Amino acid sequence: MRYDLAVIGAGPAGMAAAGAAARGGLRVALIDGAPRLGGQFHRQPPPGAGPPSQDFLRLRDRLTRADLHLGRRVWAVEPGFSVHHDGGTLTAERLLIATGAHDRVLPFPGWDLPGVLTAGGAQALLKGNLVVAGRRIVVAGTGPFLLPVATGLAAAGARVAGVFEASHRLGALARHPARAVQGAGYGLRLARHRVPYHRGQAVVAAHGDDALTGVTVADIDRDWRVLGTREIACDTLAVGYGFTPQLDLAVQLGCATTRDPDGTPVVAVDAGQRTSVPGVYAAGETTGVGGAELAELEGLAAACAVLGTPLPERLARRRDRAREFARLLHEVFPVRDGWRTWLRDDTLVCRCEEVPYRDIEDARDLGATDARSIKLLARPGMGWCQGRMCGYAVARLAGEDPPPPRRPIAQPITLQDLAAHPRRSPDVP
């Protein structure tokens, strides 16, 4: 069967879009690599282990007329549109890319030790598995996301030794009424669990032989250079420096990209979430990191555009406000290049290929002037994760903003599954 719309990604953006499009009478497929609906924000606990959230149920209950293809990882999309996943191929007239984002990480000495997790990773363990990542946890990085992570862990019984927010001032954010209230809510919860919150501080090293035993926390200046340090004992570090949108599928189709205010590549869309490629839409974090509420509104806007109905004025205004707020967050929580001074010669920059900082410098010395040639000479980004973890750092080390990712294979696929592609070129007679 050929669908009217295939939605890739079942987070708030994809769920909202698929629900609205299906209720509008379209044949809709909703595809996600995860076995359960929800994406990151609405990640659900194991079935039966706790009640789903009201917001999740509201989105889920609208999906009765959509076909769900869960546990299906999409490795490629082709014009027309064919969506190739690890269980086969489905086709659709139109496509919505709502593949979300992953944590943006920075290298620092010891970040490869077991016990160091991304902030999102700790959150996913808790939300999706009811597993508290550790006993004594440090939360560090930058961005508003650190707050729900810290309060969630503390409420679940962990001792959170502190939240270390690298950014110095909240600036214009403090004047944003609605968010100031929400921020104060987190503040109260942090206080209730006696979690200290520090600005202008960062974890600049992690320690331990085969597992994490502590971290070095530093006061940092406005460019994130170390001013003074102290050690804190902990068995777990949850660290994240914002998010990197997952653009692989959009880039495969040739969708034009633009950049978030902080230089991150995102899919370029119009008010109806249309990309530059006719028939392809994008919503949620793929079009710019802005959180779950904005993702959901963008999903609705995409569904309206596909259905040819206008997005209700009220929702359009909410979306514009959420976008404006997202822009503000980018201003308040930028990543400053001073993190480079945290690196030692032997600090791994690429975790997969185990490329130390020294090798990156050697490659530059050999004439590698951009991120791509550093990769060709020293191999960062050549391993399993294909640069998802080190891509930002390597680009910044080369003095660039990260380029849009070119990954013709968006998820690993076995050779036998690749060989089974429906349009395999016939063998030469």
Within residues 20-59, the interface with another protein by CB under 8 A covers 33-36, 40, 45-49
Q: How far is the CB of 344 from ligand FAD (least distance, A)?
A: 28
Count of residues binding another protein (CB under 8 A)? 75
Nearer to another protein, 65 or 372 (CB): 372
The answer to the question of residue 345 lying near another protein (CB under 8 A) is: no
The C-alpha atoms of residue 241 and residue 165 are separated, in whole angstroms, by 9
Among 377, 400, 401, 403, binds another protein (CB under 8 A): 377
Smallest CA-to-CA distance from 7 within 249, 347, 183 is with 249
Smallest CA-to-CA distance from 244 within 186, 289, 187, 293 is with 289
Does position 32 interact with ligand FAD (CB under 6 A)? The reply is: yes
State the binding partner of 99 from another protein, ligand FAD, none, CB within 5 to 8 A by kind.
Answer: ligand FAD
Q: Residue from 5, 6, 7, 8 that binds ligand FAD (CB under 6 A)?
A: 8
153 binds another protein per the rule CB under 8 A: no
Confirm or reject binding of residue 11 to ligand FAD (CB under 6 A).
Answer: yes
Long-range contacts of 352-360 (CB under 8 A, 24+ apart): 352/382, 352/383, 352/384, 352/385, 352/389, 352/390, 353/379, 353/380, 353/381, 353/382, 353/383, 355/379, 355/380, 355/390, 357/107, 360/394, 360/397
DSSP 229-268: EEEEE-SEEEEEESEEE--HHHHHTT--EEE-TTS-EEE-
**Interaction partner, residue 47 (ligand FAD, another protein, none; CB < 5-8 Å by kind):** another protein
Q: Angle at Cα 262 formed by Cα 355 and Cα 102, nearest 5°?
A: 55
With binding defined as CB under 8 A, does residue 407 bind another protein?
yes
Residue 80 lies near another protein (rule: CB under 8 A): no
Element spanning 4, H or E: strand 2-8
Cα–Cα distance for residue pair 270/13, rounded to 1 Å:
16
Say which amino acid occupies 344: R
Q: Which does 386 bind (CB under 5 to 8 A by kind): another protein, ligand FAD, none?
A: another protein
* Partner in contact with 181, chosen from another protein, ligand FAD, none, beta carbon below 5 to 8 Å by kind: none
User: For ligand FAD, which is the closer residue by CB, 166 or 300?
Assistant: 300
Q: Among 60, 84, 94, 102, which residue interacts with ligand FAD (rule: CB under 6 A)?
A: 102
Work out whether 288 is an interface residue with ligand FAD (CB under 6 A). Answer: no
DSSP 421: -
Q: Does 376 bind another protein (CB under 8 A)?
A: yes
Q: Rule CB under 6 A: is residue 30 a binding residue for ligand FAD?
A: no
Least CB distance to ligand FAD at residue 86 (A)? 9
Which of 142, 224, 234, 148 has its CA nearest to residue 186?
148
Residue 110 in contact with another protein, rule: CB under 8 A: no
Asked if 214 contacts 136 with a C-beta cutoff of 8 angstroms, the reply is no
Which of 130-138, 183-191, 226-234, 257-265 is the region at the interface with another protein (rule: CB under 8 A)? 130-138
Residue 362: burial class (beta carbons within 10 Å; 0-12, 13-18, 19+): middle
Instruction: Choose among 288, 284, 282, 242: nearest CA to 265.
Output: 288
Within 10 angstroms of residue 166's Cβ, the number of other Cβ atoms is 27
Q: Of ligand FAD, another protein, none, which one sits near residue 122, judging by CB under 5 to 8 A according to partner kind?
A: another protein
In angstroms, the Cα distances linking 403 to 10, 265, 288, 374, 413 are 26, 7, 15, 14, 24
Q: Which of residues 177-216 bind ligand FAD (CB under 6 A)?
A: none
Query: Whose Cβ is closer to ligand FAD: residue 41's or residue 81's?
Result: 41
Quick check: 291 binds ligand FAD (CB under 6 A)? yes
Of residues 3, 41, 241, 339, which one binds ligand FAD by CB under 6 A?
41
Which CB atom, from 323 or from 351, has the smaller least distance to another protein?
351
* 116 is an interface residue for another protein by CB under 8 A: yes
| Residues 398-427, interacting with ligand FAD (CB under 6 A) | 410-411
What six digits make up the tokens of 395? Answer: 């680009």
- Work out which of 167, 252, 275, 347 binds another protein, going by CB under 8 A: 252
**Residue 64 binds another protein (CB under 8 A):** no
Cα(271)–Cα(261) distance, integer angstroms: 18
Helix (H) or strand (E) holding 364: helix 357-365
Binding site for ligand FAD (CB under 6 A): 8-14, 31-34, 39-41, 73-74, 98-103, 120, 123-124, 145, 148, 243, 246, 284-285, 291-292, 295, 410-411
